[in-house]
Structure 1
Amino acid sequence: MTVPHPYADLLAAIPVARHTRTVLGGQTVYWVYGDADAETTLLVVHGFRGEHHGLEPVIAYLPGLRIISPDLPGFGESPALPGRQHDIATYAAWLAEFSAAVAPGAVVLGHSFGSIVAAAAVADGLPTPRLILVNPIGAPALEGPRGVLTRLAVFYYRAAARLPRRIGDAVLRSRVIVRVMSVSMAKTHDRTLRRFIHDQHDTYFSRFADRDVLLQAFVASVSNDVRASAPRIHVPVLLVAAERDDITPIEAERRLARMFADAELVEIPDVGHLIHYETPRAAADAIRRFLPLSDAGTC
């Protein structure tokens, strides 16, 4: 049964093209949305186990911008980087090289795990006029409201890595596990939207290169957060946070905002860690307000 895509009509009005680029010795696959002559370019970085489709609902509400959306190395259509550990340092170096080659001067946006990567890259010198972090990881995941579940996830990923490869890979791609993750994160009571969210996770959450990359990226995601980078970032920053986020509580996001030299915090009610699926228009509205009015577009 086909699951309705609630943002399909808006996306259909935005031109998109697929491209590839060699970065850090590996092929990065990326998509360019919007017109080449747009005044502002937005470079977006998706979250853990996701890929470029995940941020399309937000992109749907941002006509008038040129948006570049790569699949992180080891996820979606981008293969793993050869001979490298997929940790925050590597992902930050990859983003800096990718940005210099494909989107110099772009505004950088990171969602969830992508917020850690984007913040680290900017703190390390990636030039950008502004930084946007959606559902930023503002505190250690092991200390969040669902710290126990995070510890269970650590056990899950490490145990799967120790199993015979074929069995371990099947465990990591289990639709049952993916559905449990999806159900635990979704907050909306809209049945149609919940079906869409679960279908997105079922379709894209297991498109990782192999279990080694997945484990490396998972360890990176739970061992780091944006706080380490915040004091070294001196461009204006927008934090789009959820009041019901189970990974980073809103109080921690408020503390995180104070760690930047120049930051604005937008809090979205009645949503958790899936702002990009459940409240993409609210996120896009905040992004448009943060960008110059001439670049904001309409929807």
Structure 2
Amino acid sequence: MDWDRDGKDWPNREFSRFVRHRPHYWHLQVAGNGPVVLLIHGTGGATHSWRDVLPILAERYRVVALDLPGQGFTRLGARQRCGLDAMSRDISALLDGEALLPDAIVGHSAGAAIALRMVRDLKRPPKALVGLNAALESFKGPAGFVFPMMARMMALNPFSASEISRWLGTAAGVEYMIAGIGSELSPEGLALYRRLVADRHHTDATLAMVAQWSLDGLQHDLPSIDVPTLLIVGEDDRAVPVSGSVRAAARLPRAELARFPGLGHLAHEEAPEAVTARIEAFLDDRL
């Protein structure tokens, strides 16, 4: 993704900054004052996913959103560091270096797994965690087919990122994927996802993340993560079943579950005001 070309009208552009912290060149958005709340998007996403959430939270908190390595506008500096453990360590080091250690972390999908892993890697643990349709088990439905397929294609064909970008970077391709995970987005939201997946560098980094992803260690550690955790689920999510969050909540020592009927995997993009209000109510008691 090219900032001058693709970032001209990027959501919340006025809060964007770029930071070189080994091994990557990071795109961050920082807004507001107060306790630090970190937002981590899911696989194949970017800061645009928080376009309506960030301004609301920034009225009360210092909100930090970032693009994962190689995705969105963060430039990938080391391809082998796209797995869960490596990303957790690299993000933790980045935030420490920028004096932005989070008091709370909100993660969507795979971002929720990163948030839980960061409890181990941060210099001090956060006071609260929120997982939105947390991907703490294997993907199901269309996502369960597409993501492993993407990883296999990457292993077999080094040019697969370009092929997948051509396949998904159409209006029909993006609409198929978004509908397949149970969400309905505005034309603006769909256009932003088209912009992302049409970029082969973004798609290549997403493929690398999928190929290196393993939840085995995190699953083992869930009972030892003694941080208040809210797991929010959209009951129409077709990528991450509600049952996965129910099982995770039972294993996490201090977890609670909130259900949103009628919303899918991108619940915070479909109903940002309602979802953010639930996040704020949870954080108010802990920050």
| TM-score (ref. length: structure 2) | 0.83
> Which residue type is aligned with residue 98 of structure 1?
L
Q: 2:39 aligns with which of 41, 44, 48?
A: 44
Match of 1:91 among 77, 87, 92: 87
1:133 counterpart residue number: 131
User: C-alpha displacement at 1:164, in angstroms?
Assistant: 5.7
1:113 equivalenced with 2:107 (yes/no) = no
User: Among residues 40, 45, 52, which one is paired with 1:57 in the alignment?
Assistant: 52
8 Å CA contact 1:119, 1:229 repeated in 2 = no
User: Is the partner of 1:273 in helix, strand or coil?
Assistant: coil
Correspondence for 1:4: none
Matches of 2:223 and 2:200, distance apart in 1: 32
Equivalent residue letter for 2:105: V
Change in 2 beyond 3 A, CA 1:152/1:43? closer
Q: Secondary structure at the match of 2:18?
A: strand
From 169, 180, 183, the counterpart of 1:184: 180
One-letter identity of the residue aligned with 1:224: L
- Pairwise CA distance, 1:108: 1.2
Unaligned runs of 5+ in 2: 1-10
CA distance in 2 between counterparts of 1:171 and 1:261 reads: 44
User: Matched residue pairs, number?
Assistant: 269
Identity across aligned pairs (percent)? 22
Q: What's the secondary structure of 1:258's corresponding residue? A: helix
1:161-176 correspondence to structure 2 within 5 Å = 161-163=155-157, 165=159, 168-174=160-166, 175-176=169-170
Distance across 1 between alignment mates of 2:236 and 2:268: 14
Measure, in 2, the Cα distance between the counterparts of 1:250 and 1:210: 28
Q: State yes or no: 1:21 paired with 2:19.
A: yes
Between 1 and 2, higher relative CO (CA 8 Å, sep ≥ 6) is seen in: 1
1:289 is matched with 281
The CA distance in 2 between the partners of 1:32 and 1:124, in whole Å, is 21
Alignment match, 1:274? 266
Amino acid at match of 2:41: H
C-alpha deviations, 1:205-247, integer Å up to 9, x for none? 34463665332211345x4376344222111111111112112
Question: 2:215 aligned with 1:224, yes or no?
Answer: yes
Q: Which letter does structure 2 place at the counterpart of 1:116?
A: A
| Contact residue 49 and residue 75 of structure 1 kept, 8 A | yes
Shift in Å, 1:22: 2.7
Does structure 1 conserve the Cα–Cα contact (< 8 Å) formed by 2:165 and 2:200? no
> Whole-Å Cα distance in 2 between the matches of residues 277 and 292 of structure 1?
22
SS at match of 1:140: coil
Point out where structure 1 has 5 or more consecutive residues left out of the alignment: 1-10
- Answer whether contact 1:75 1:207 (CA < 8 A) is retained: no
Task: Give the CA deviation at 1:170.
Answer: 2.6
TM-score, normalisation: structure 1: 0.80
Report if the CA contact (8 A) 2:37-2:102 is conserved.
no
Please report how far the alpha carbon of residue 112 of structure 1 lies from its aligned counterpart in structure 2 after TM superposition. 0.8
Distance 2:286 2:158 in 1: 55
The verdict on how the C-alpha distance between 1:90 and 1:19 changes in structure 2, with shifts beyond 3 A counting, is: same
Q: How far did residue 27 of structure 1 move?
A: 1.4
TM-aligned CA deviation for residue 68 of structure 1: 0.7
Question: What is the Cα deviation at residue 152 of structure 1?
Answer: 4.5
How far residue 83 of structure 1 moved from its aligned partner, in angstroms, is 5.9
Give 3-state SS (helix, strand or coil) of 2:27's partner. Answer: strand
Q: Does structure 2 retain, via aligned residues, the 8 Å contact 1:157–1:172? A: no
Q: Is the 8 Å Cα contact of residues 38 and 102 (structure 2) preserved in structure 1? A: no
Q: 1:231 to 1:220 in 2, by over 3 A?
A: farther
Change (3 A) 1:185 1:151: closer
Q: Give the 3-state SS of the residue equivalent to 1:42 in structure 2.
A: strand
